[in-house]
Amino acid sequence: MKTTEAMDTEAMDIEKLFTKVLGDKVKDMDLPPECFDIMQCEIVSFNEIEKSLTTKMPILRSWLNPYATMQGGMIVAGIDNAVGPLSMLIAPMNVTRTIESKYLLPITMDLGYIYAKASLVEEKKRRLIFEVSIEDESGKVYTKARVENWILSK
């Protein structure tokens, strides 16, 4: 499996990745989910040991606000599209409870693509805490987020 050590922009096959990690559990999953496809997301790295995953997504004109920068809700959807697959690959069934985001720099179409780098930073009882950064290809950070997911049953 690819690791997050080097920025690799080649997409991983989401169905093969999930089947390799989760086995027969994938038969009841709709992979990839429509929201992932709509945003044209791709998983470009997954590190099972470090519990991290990176997605790549294009910046589309339809996602821009009147200032020609990416609308905040679309950025958060991109964050959720990185945490979602990671949480499914490393933990029992869980759901997003909160997303707290901090926008550092505007995201414009000239970037072409952005990368959502998600990592599990804490697991306590039924609570999972993830940190996510939205970066360009060179690693410049545009948005940071902290996401709390709740494990439905353990």
pLDDT digits (tens, 9 = 90+) for 66-101: 999 999 999 999 999 999 999 999 999 999 999 999
Q: Which residue has the tokens 């690799």?
A: 8
Residue 7 pLDDT more than 70? no
Query: Which domains occur in the chain, in start order?
Result: 14-151 (3.10.129.10)
- For residues 63 and 45, give the distance between their C-alpha atoms in angstroms, rounded to a whole number: 24
What's the pTM value of the predicted model, to 2 decimals?
0.90
Distance of alpha carbon 12 from the chain centroid:
13
Structure tokens belonging to residue 2:
């690819």
- For residues 32 and 65, give the distance between their C-alpha atoms in angstroms, rounded to a whole number: 27
Residue 35 pLDDT more than 60? yes
Q: Long-range contacts of range 22-25, CB-CB < 8 Å, 24 or more positions apart? A: 22/88, 22/89
**Per-residue pLDDT, 154:** 63
For the chain, count helices (H), then strands (E): 3, 6
